[in-house]
Structure 1
Amino acid sequence: MGFFGTYLYAGDQWTEHDPDQPVNEPGPWLRINIHDSDFTIVTYSPEYQGTGVAYLGYTPRMYFESEDDDSRTNPAQEAAALTTWWTNHTPTADPTTADSKRAELLPYLAEDKDTFDEDEDEEDDEDLPDAEIYVEVKTADFLTSLNLPLPPALEQLLA
Structure 2
Amino acid sequence: MGFFGGFLYDGRSWTETDHSGMTAPSGPWLHVDIHDSDFAVLTYRPAGPGTGTAFIGYTPSVYFGEPDASPPTDAPREAAGLAAWWSGLNPSASAADRDTMAATLLPYLATDEPQDDEDDEDDDEFEDEDEDDGTSPFVEDKVDDFLTALGLPSFRTAP
Alpha-carbon separation, structure 2, partners of 1:150 and 1:70:
26
What residue in structure 2 maps to residue 146 of structure 1?
150
Q: Which residue in the other structure is 1:20 paired with?
A: 20
Tell me by how many angstroms 1:71 deviates: 2.9
Give the SS at the match of 1:42. strand
**How many residue pairs align between the two structures?**
152
Deviates more, 1:65-74 or 1:116-125: 116-125
Is 1:130 matched with 2:135?
yes
Deviations 1:21-78, CA, capped at 9 Å, x for gaps: 2443212100001111100100000111111000000001100110455831000000
When the two structures are superposed, what TM-score results if normalisation uses the length of structure 1? 0.82
Q: Equivalents in 2 of 1:26, 1:48: separation in Å?
A: 15
Q: Distance in 2 between matches of 1:136 and 1:152?
A: 9
Are 1:61 and 1:69, in contact at CA under 8 Å, matched by a contact in 2? yes
Gaps of 5+ in 2: 124-129
Instruction: Give distance in 1, aligned partners of 2:156 and 2:118.
Output: 36
Equivalence for 1:47: 47
Q: Distance in 2 between matches of 1:104 and 1:75?
A: 12
Q: CA RMSD in A?
A: 2.4
SS of 2:58 mapped into structure 1? coil
Number of the residue aligned with 1:109: 109
1:96 — aligned with what?
96
Q: What CA distance in whole angstroms lies between the structure 2 residues aligned with 1:50 and 1:72?
A: 13
Equivalent pair of 2:19/2:31 in contact (CA under 8 Å):
no
Report SS of the residue matched to 2:98: helix
Q: Residue 86 of structure 2 corresponds to which residue in structure 1?
A: 86
CA distance in 1, matches of 2:131, 2:42: 27
Q: TM-score, normalised by structure 2?
A: 0.82
Q: CA–CA distance in 2 between the matches of 1:42 and 1:68?
A: 18
